Amino acid sequence: MSTEKVEAPAASQSSKRTLVGKVKSAKMEKTVVVEVVRSVRHPVYGKYVRRRKSYKAHDEQKQYKAGDVVEIIESKPISRDKRWTVVRLVERPEET
């Protein structure tokens, strides 16, 4: 019988939620509005329905702009409405 401890990577132990969404607005100082779209099965009809919700997220360097797909993570309250922080850029649309 082995008594060794096996530690999981630090990222899997985090209890903070992460979401991926598109930046809808970047007009505020150090804040972006991220729209997250998810599909939910309707309880009666069984059809999948799209649900969308907007989150205000903290962007310290003001580097994200409208149209960017970003990942946000839960954080402590930063202001009255901001409880999320932008972690990374997932995809930036092509500029023509």
- φ and ψ at 10, to 5 degrees? -60, -35
57 is a domain residue = yes
Cβ(51)–Cβ(75) below 8 Å: no
Per the structure, the count of domains in the chain is 1
Q: How far apart are CA 93 and CA 19, in angstroms?
A: 19
Instruction: Tell whether 96 is covered by a domain.
Output: no
82, part of any domain: yes
Given a cut of 70, the residues of the chain with pLDDT beneath it are 1-13, 96
Given this model, what pLDDT does residue 90 score? Answer: 94
The two three-digit tokens of residue 22, written as one number: 């598109």
Amino acid at 52: R
The set of residues, in sequence order, having a beta carbon less than 8 Å from that of 29 and lying 6+ positions away, is 62
pLDDT value for 59:
95
94 close to 85: Cβ distance less than 8 angstroms: no
Cβ-contact 85, 58 below 8 angstroms: yes
The CATH number that applies at residue 48 is 2.40.50.140
Q: Tell me the pTM.
A: 0.79
**Given this model, what pLDDT does residue 53 score?**
97
The domain in which residue 21 lies consists of: 10-91
Q: 20 in a domain, yes or no?
A: yes
